[in-house]
Structures are given as C-alpha cells and as structure tokens.
Amino acid sequence: VKEDPAVLFIGASGCGKSRLINEMLGAEVLPCAGEGVAVTAAPIEVRFRKPSPRSPTPSSLPPGEAWLYDVRFELFSQDEFVEMRDQMSRELLEYWEITQDEGVLTIPARKPPQEDHAKAARSAHDWFEAVYGRRALKKPWASADEFKAAFNDKFPPLIKPEP
C-alpha cells in the first residue's frame, strides 16, 4: 500500500504556518491568525485528493481543475482542554513574569534550568496567545492566582462547556 507523503509544519503561534499552507495550495483552505480563529491551538490535518469525474467543480475553476481537500481538526473535550490549560498555566507561570504594569513579559522571570524548560515556557505562552488572543497576555495581572482565575471558566469557541 502506497502512503501519501506527509509534511509537518511546526512553528510558534502566529508565525504564518496557515498562511504559508494556503499560499502553497493556491487557495484559502485554512483560516489564518489575525482572522480571530485560534488555528494553532489544535493539530490540523489537510489532505489533497484528486477529483473524480463526478466531483462538483467550483464555478471559479475551469472544468477538470477542481481541487478537493479534506481538512481534519483534532478537537479537545472540555476535560482535555482544562487539563491542557492547567498544564500550560503551570509552565507559563513558572518562568514568566506577571506584573501589574505589563502583563506577561516576553523576558523570563528566571532562567529555566534546562533548554527544554525554556521551550515549554515559550510553548505555553504561544498556546495561551493562540487560544485566548494576544490581548489576554497583555492585560495587567496582579498575581499568578488572578491570572489562573481569569482563565478558569473561559473556553475558546471550538469547545462548548458541558452543562
């Protein structure tokens, strides 16, 4: 069985992964950062498949030139999301400064003991930014407890709180 080639795009939140994929495909297949959608908060799989003769052809393309994509999102349950948010909170708060004046600084509060701790802290910062928006991390927080409480009951649009 011949497998399709796989390409993985990894990068910081908002660095243009979705935009690059759209440019490579020549179509707006994925929403991009800046459109208000946290696309990097969950893994996304995009597959190209050749159209069959019976495939509908978009009116903007000549016959026989239809492009079909399967886009799959891996969504979290509310419990999985809460677990991820709590883990990211711990990693973010361990190494990032929270001040009354500037919100979460982009300079670590203390130097992580190992490089992978620094990457985890940066990843947590990027995750919060992707899920809650850049403004959420710019808000002034008086304390780590206030920061945690602010995100306790907030869920991004793709996750519906259970009744």
Other Cβ atoms less than 10 A from the Cβ of 104: the count is 22
Helix axes 78-95, 144-151, angle to 10 degrees: 160
Provide the pLDDT for residue 107.
44
Mean predicted confidence (pLDDT) in 128-151: 71
Residue 141 pLDDT = 64
- In this predicted structure, the answer to whether residue 85 has a pLDDT above a threshold of 80 is yes
Q: Which amino acid is at 149?
A: A
pLDDT at position 100 is 42
Q: Residue 74: its pLDDT value, please?
A: 64
Residues facing residue 104 across a β-bridge: 98
More confident residue, 22 or 105: 22
CA distances from 73 to 12, 70, 140 (A): 18, 10, 33
Taking only the tens place, the pLDDT of each residue in 1-38 is: 566 666 777 776 667 787 888 787 777 777 775 544 45
pLDDT of residue 61: 55
Whole-number percent of the chain with pLDDT over 90: 0
